[in-house]
A and B are shown apart, each in its own frame.
Chain A
Amino acid sequence: MNVVPADLNNVESIVNEIVTRHEGNKHELVAVLNDVQKTLGYLPESALIQVADGLDIPLSKVYGVATFYTLLSIKPMGKHVIRVCESAPCHLLGANSLIDVLRKELRISIGETTKCGTFTLEHTSCLGLCGVAPAIMIDDEVFGNLMPDDIPAILEKYK
């Protein structure tokens, strides 16, 4: 995922365009939220209100969906989002040691964003990459069979 810098002055027209692209179809809520997040970097309050209005779905439900999926966020995100799988196979094969390195390298905890705004560190539910556990995902790219020592080099690519 290439996160475009958030254009928060333009939320109304951006959301409008996305809702129109999905023909106002309320069954495409998740897809609409995904598109809004891709464009704005996260889901600000004004955007969710407008999605609710545009798709004619109660705001409480839209918010519920927005806070359920790990790939969606109602808080501003860093330029790159690192997602560490927290499912059982990754856990057994050392996901926690990956997290230890990530925290040390980035000086942030799970759920936080680096001061410079480059990285956000998050847990995610199963990525479906159990065959190459432990796995992480940075934006749209996946990395598997990881050892703690692999992390610094990977991060370097995104800095």
Chain B
Amino acid sequence: MALVTLTIDGKETQVEEGTSILEAAKTVGIEIPSLCYLKDINETGKCRVCVVEVEKSNTLMASCVTPVANGMVVGTNTERVRSARRTVLELILSNHRTDCLTCEKNGDCKLQDYAYEYGLEELRFPSDRVLPELDDTNPFFIRDLSKCILCGRCISVCSDIQGQDAIALIGRGFDTKVAPAWDKPLEESPCVFCGNCVQVCPVGALTPKYSVGKGRFWEIEKVETTCPYCGTGCLLDLHVKNGKVVGASGADGPVNEGWTCVKGRFGLDFIHHPDRLTVPLIREGDGFKEASWDEALELVASKLGGLVSEHGSDSVAFFSSAKCTNEVSYLMQKLARAAVGTNNVDHCARLCHSSTVAGLATSFGSGAMTNSIHEIADAKAVFIIGSNTTENHPVIGIQVKEAVRRGAKLIVADPRDIELAQKAHIHMKHLPGTDVALLNGMMNVIIEKDLHDKEFIETRTENFEAFKECVSKYTPEYVSEITGVPAELIVEAAVAYATADTASLIYSMGITQHSTGTDNVLSTANIAMLTGNLGKESVGVNPLRGQNNVQGACDMGALPVFFPGYQSVTNPDIRSKFEKAWGRELPSEPGLTVTEAINVAYEGDLKGLYIIGENPMVSDPDINHVEAALKNLDFLVVQDIFLTETAELADVVLPSACFAEQSGTFTSTERRVQLVRKAIEPPGEARSDWEIICDISTRLGYPMNYSSSGEILDEIASLTPIYGGITSRRLDSKGLQWPCPTEDHPGTPYLHKGKFSRGLGLFSAIDYIPAAELPDEEYPLILTTGRILYHFHTGSMTRRTEGLHAHRPEAFIEIRPDTAEDLGIVDGEMVQVSSRRGKVEVRAKVTSWPAPGVVFMPFHFAEAAANILTNPALDPKAKIPEFKVCAVRIDRLPLEAAL
């Protein structure tokens, strides 16, 4: 692009053609004031504060929208400019309620700054405007439109970043305001309360509720860290004052680029919730007594040690947590393997993506997201199957919407009319549990129409012929009968996916949580290989991991068959490497998975269990069975930040620090290792998870001594080739994406370039197998479960967050209008839902979202736990339970029916 030379305030500069004067000024260190300008997002020239004088031009120019020209001579701070700005500011201020004394924005307000700079003591223009009333109806932020200056930043962010278009400028003249259509409450608009509007508001019109009165801008220290909710890996700035987290905002992370979702921004007040555990607890009858750390740790060590000497190492098991840091999961598996001598170590990835690890490792040799999140926006087609992206990975949802804005075809396969299904070009509303059939049908079409990538198949893959033979019988008509998707839609989707230059396939638990979970994953790998959508930018098979550090917990070997870095425990060479490093003989037999451990406990062969940060009493299938199993243990230790439903059953409860109170690293779904920084001290006597593990290990006779979490990370790097170059010295705000084998390696944005991790990509011939439990006369409906935007997993954090809990206080079951009519159920009534395993009472939400014969429940709510109903049938390879399909019946409650 051509360069343009111009002079700004006497300084010459050269910038690219098309650059605005405002941006050009930055190159010579001049910051032109503006209220409305947001680079690339809101460039409208609306507020007129950025006006500058351009020689030979009669009028002043808005510098944010005026492109530079050769030979231009610009004055940004002349008397004429300053006088114009003063008038503009006076006009803005005349319609702005000025209450700086109590305004939350005081000290961080651009209007206040400029009023000060331009000396606006008295205003010449009294206003007739009737100032709008304050709106504090939503639980997340306050809208005080009497301070709104109509700059339009919030509208641009809502539209062009978040893609919700909830608000616009409505009305005209003095009555103009930023609001949803008909000035309805935000709750009745498409608003998802991401609060990105709050973050960009230059004045005090939008302020987060939970920060009100908690601290002035200049008193607050911002600590950059990684969000503790989903696996996207957004960086947040925690706002800290006097040892308390009083707010949060999006930091400029490589994935989130400053944005965040409702949970990251407004969902952190659980940190200071009065329910936080602050002292160790020891069981006493039906309750607990408070204990000293010494007493509690001694009891844990003596009980676990006693069980090991009496019943052997494999009589105890360890559940690490996808919520904790890499360092914690590393130490947890080291504790199990080296200190105790068992491979019985696992974590909740078993319940969400164990089939991903099993499936993608088979097909490609590496079980992780192949590409990076930011690449999605440039894909020419995005195929989402079994992921409610905008609710469960909201900031990745932003990338998908951006891809659509840039012209990508969006194909969604989901049994419900989720937001992205409504925005998709093609929505295949298939029945839960029919994913293999659907994908085989699409692949049948691709081969029939000769759209497959023959060169890629020839040079990069193997076993194509057997696979081709297998899919040949899955004609669109046959698949249509199984899935309920019209044949022509299957053809259309197949052609759209196969003919796009780059197609990114995204999936999540809709694929993995089935008794055929591994088969589903293998099928996603098949369709990507068939079309050559691997090993380059903006393509790939992209499983979105649910928890902040579920990728890391897997990477760290909190898995019964792997040491850190997916190094097999059955490989003698690997084992001897770890034996040398850890100074102990290590077990060679694979251990128990989470789901198997529960079953073995139920049978009485597992005696002791140490759980960190997991809540199987809400998260696991068939909770009645889980409860019986946990009660059958001789000794249960639970280490958590709250007394969860699981901790209530424990013999010893250890209080731990939450993410804001300890240091370490999380690995996001795109394999990016990022820093978690300690911002505040833990409450009471709560301690860092890694310090607690070290103490227990030491008391078990295997001393662990680390001075910091960084020292643990360096030990991980020394033993884990994919983390080889990821050391505490190197990590900064950008993080590093594994594989990163050496200290000079830049990290790997996308996998399998030129060659798969296993050499050739392996096609698998996969036949469709129906779900383990299908509807029948007694239980005629298919229940599928999932999550909602405003809660996270078992709700132990989000349900202790004021705003989130107020906004979505209770569970519901989505029932189609036709089903509801058949059963005589009206929207909002309480119903009883039962399966072969149990029953719950829950409120009916009548909606056309689910596919025919399907009902949906979120699993966050312990008092109406979907997992009392779900089927614990396991995938034979990955041992993941079938959360996504079980048969249920719905009955009206006697009282409701009598009305």
- Measured CB to CB, the residues of A under 8 A from B are 45, 48, 58-64, 67-70, 74
Q: Is the CB of B189 within 8 A of A60?
A: yes
| Given A45-B182, A48-B181, CB of A60 within 8 Å of CB of B167 | yes
Q: Please indicate which of the listed interface residues B168, B171, B182, B190 has the most CB atoms of chain A within 10 Å of its own CB.
A: B168
Q: Is the CB of A61 within 8 A of B168?
A: yes
Q: Is the CB of A62 within 8 A of B171?
A: no
Q: Is the CB of A63 within 8 A of B172?
A: no
Q: List 16 A-B contacts (CB under 8 A).
A: A45-B182, A58-B168, A58-B190, A60-B168, A60-B180, A60-B181, A60-B189, A61-B168, A63-B168, A63-B181, A64-B170, A67-B171, A67-B172, A68-B171, A68-B172, A74-B182
Q: Residue B169 at the A interface, CB < 8 A? A: yes
Chain B, 789-813, CB within 8 A of any chain A CB = none
How distant is the Cα of A45 from the Cα of B182 in the complex, in angstroms?
Answer: 9
User: Closest residue of chain A to B181, judged by CB?
Assistant: A63
Q: Is the CB of A67 within 8 A of B170?
A: yes
Q: Is the CB of B182 within 8 A of A61?
A: no
Closest 6 pairs between A and B when the two form their complex, measured CB to CB? A58-B165, A63-B181, A64-B168, A60-B168, A59-B181, A67-B171
- Chain A residues touching B, majority SS: helix
The contact of B165 among A60, A68, A70, A74, by CB within 8 Å, is A60
Q: Residue B19 at the A interface, CB < 8 A? A: no
Query: Beyond the given A60-B168, A60-B170, could you list 15 further A-B residue pairs with CB under 8 A, ordered by the A residue number?
Result: A45-B182, A58-B159, A58-B165, A58-B168, A59-B165, A59-B181, A60-B180, A60-B189, A63-B170, A64-B181, A67-B171, A67-B172, A68-B169, A68-B171, A74-B182
A102 CB, nearest partner CB in chain B, Å: 20
Q: Residue B686 at the A interface, CB < 8 A? A: no
How distant is the Cα of A134 from the Cα of B180 in the complex, in angstroms?
Answer: 37
Residues of B within 8 A of A68 (CB): 169, 171-172
| Given A58-B165, A68-B172, CB of A63 within 8 Å of CB of B159 | no
A62 CB, nearest partner CB in chain B, Å: 7
Q: Residue B855 at the A interface, CB < 8 A? A: no
B410 CB, nearest partner CB in chain A, Å: 14
A88 CB, nearest partner CB in chain B, Å: 15
- Chain B residues touching A, majority SS: loop
| Given A45-B182, A48-B181, CB of A61 within 8 Å of CB of B165 | yes
How distant is the Cα of A60 from the Cα of B182 in the complex, in angstroms?
Answer: 8
Q: Is the CB of A63 within 8 A of B182?
A: yes
User: Closest residue of chain B to A58, judged by CB?
Assistant: B165
Q: How many residues of B contact A (CB 8 A)?
A: 14
Total CB contacts across the A-B interface at under 8 A: 36
How distant is the Cα of A130 from the Cα of B170 in the complex, in angstroms?
Answer: 28
How distant is the Cα of A10 from the Cα of B250 in the complex, in angstroms?
Answer: 48
Q: Is the CB of A64 within 8 A of B169?
A: yes
How distant is the Cα of A28 from the Cα of B190 in the complex, in angstroms?
Answer: 24
How distant is the Cα of A67 from the Cα of B159 in the complex, in angstroms?
Answer: 19
1/0 contact string of B145-189 vs chain A (CB within 8 Å): 000000000000001000001111111100000001110000001
A124 CB, nearest partner CB in chain B, Å: 11
Residues of B within 8 A of A70 (CB): 172
User: Closest residue of chain B to A69, judged by CB?
Assistant: B172
How distant is the Cα of A61 from the Cα of B169 in the complex, in angstroms?
Answer: 8
Residues of B within 8 A of A48 (CB): 181
How distant is the Cα of A105 from the Cα of B166 in the complex, in angstroms?
Answer: 43
How distant is the Cα of A59 from the Cα of B181 in the complex, in angstroms?
Answer: 7
User: Closest residue of chain A to B180, judged by CB?
Assistant: A60
Q: Please indicate which of the listed interface residues B165, B180, B181, B182 has the most CB atoms of chain A within 10 Å of its own CB.
A: B181
User: Closest residue of chain A to B173, judged by CB?
Assistant: A125
B405 CB, nearest partner CB in chain A, Å: 13
How distant is the Cα of A57 from the Cα of B441 in the complex, in angstroms?
Answer: 34
User: Closest residue of chain B to A70, judged by CB?
Assistant: B172
Residues of B within 8 A of A61 (CB): 165, 168
Residues of B within 8 A of A69 (CB): 172
How distant is the Cα of A68 from the Cα of B176 in the complex, in angstroms?
Answer: 8
How distant is the Cα of A69 from the Cα of B176 in the complex, in angstroms?
Answer: 12
User: Closest residue of chain B to A48, judged by CB?
Assistant: B181
Residues of B within 8 A of A59 (CB): 165, 181
B177 CB, nearest partner CB in chain A, Å: 10
User: Closest residue of chain B to A68, judged by CB?
Assistant: B172
Residues of B within 8 A of A45 (CB): 182
Residues of A within 8 A of B167 (CB): 60
1/0 contact string of B175-207 vs chain A (CB within 8 Å): 000001110000001100000000000000000
How distant is the Cα of A68 from the Cα of B182 in the complex, in angstroms?
Answer: 13
Residues of B within 8 A of A67 (CB): 170-172
Residues of A within 8 A of B168 (CB): 58, 60-61, 63-64
User: Closest residue of chain A to B179, judged by CB?
Assistant: A60
User: Closest residue of chain A to B171, judged by CB?
Assistant: A67
How distant is the Cα of A61 from the Cα of B158 in the complex, in angstroms?
Answer: 12
How distant is the Cα of A74 from the Cα of B181 in the complex, in angstroms?
Answer: 11
How distant is the Cα of A61 from the Cα of B165 in the complex, in angstroms?
Answer: 8
Residues of A within 8 A of B181 (CB): 48, 59-60, 62-64
Residues of A within 8 A of B165 (CB): 58-61
How distant is the Cα of A48 from the Cα of B184 in the complex, in angstroms?
Answer: 15
A113 CB, nearest partner CB in chain B, Å: 19
User: Closest residue of chain B to A86, judged by CB?
Assistant: B173
How distant is the Cα of A145 from the Cα of B25 in the complex, in angstroms?
Answer: 52
How distant is the Cα of A45 from the Cα of B181 in the complex, in angstroms?
Answer: 10
Residues of B within 8 A of A60 (CB): 165-168, 170, 180-181, 189
How distant is the Cα of A67 from the Cα of B189 in the complex, in angstroms?
Answer: 17
Q: Please indicate which of the listed interface residues A45, A61, A74 has the most CB atoms of chain B within 10 Å of its own CB.
A: A61
How distant is the Cα of A69 from the Cα of B190 in the complex, in angstroms?
Answer: 24
How distant is the Cα of A69 from the Cα of B170 in the complex, in angstroms?
Answer: 11
Residues of A within 8 A of B170 (CB): 60, 63-64, 67
User: Closest residue of chain B to A49, judged by CB?
Assistant: B181
User: Closest residue of chain B to A45, judged by CB?
Assistant: B182
User: Closest residue of chain B to A63, judged by CB?
Assistant: B181
How distant is the Cα of A59 from the Cα of B190 in the complex, in angstroms?
Answer: 10
Residues of B within 8 A of A64 (CB): 168-170, 181
1/0 contact string of B381-408 vs chain A (CB within 8 Å): 0000000000000000000000000000
How distant is the Cα of A59 from the Cα of B167 in the complex, in angstroms?
Answer: 9
B194 CB, nearest partner CB in chain A, Å: 16
Residues of A within 8 A of B180 (CB): 60
Residues of B within 8 A of A58 (CB): 159, 165, 168, 190
B288 CB, nearest partner CB in chain A, Å: 52
How distant is the Cα of A60 from the Cα of B172 in the complex, in angstroms?
Answer: 14
Q: Please indicate which of the listed interface residues A58, A68, A69, A70 has the most CB atoms of chain B within 10 Å of its own CB.
A: A58
Residues of A within 8 A of B159 (CB): 58
Residues of B within 8 A of A74 (CB): 182
How distant is the Cα of A58 from the Cα of B159 in the complex, in angstroms?
Answer: 9
How distant is the Cα of A45 from the Cα of B168 in the complex, in angstroms?
Answer: 16
How distant is the Cα of A48 from the Cα of B190 in the complex, in angstroms?
Answer: 16
Chain B, 728-774, CB within 8 A of any chain A CB = none
A111 CB, nearest partner CB in chain B, Å: 11
How distant is the Cα of A58 from the Cα of B191 in the complex, in angstroms?
Answer: 12
Chain B, 2-42, CB within 8 A of any chain A CB = none
How distant is the Cα of A25 from the Cα of B166 in the complex, in angstroms?
Answer: 22
A137 CB, nearest partner CB in chain B, Å: 18
How distant is the Cα of A74 from the Cα of B180 in the complex, in angstroms?
Answer: 15
A103 CB, nearest partner CB in chain B, Å: 20
Residues of A within 8 A of B172 (CB): 67-70
How distant is the Cα of A58 from the Cα of B168 in the complex, in angstroms?
Answer: 9
A126 CB, nearest partner CB in chain B, Å: 13
User: Closest residue of chain B to A65, judged by CB?
Assistant: B168
1/0 contact string of B615-657 vs chain A (CB within 8 Å): 0000000000000000000000000000000000000000000
1/0 contact string of B503-527 vs chain A (CB within 8 Å): 0000000000000000000000000
Residues of A within 8 A of B189 (CB): 60
Residues of A within 8 A of B166 (CB): 60
How distant is the Cα of A74 from the Cα of B165 in the complex, in angstroms?
Answer: 20
How distant is the Cα of A60 from the Cα of B168 in the complex, in angstroms?
Answer: 5
B428 CB, nearest partner CB in chain A, Å: 21
How distant is the Cα of A68 from the Cα of B170 in the complex, in angstroms?
Answer: 7
User: Closest residue of chain A to B189, judged by CB?
Assistant: A60
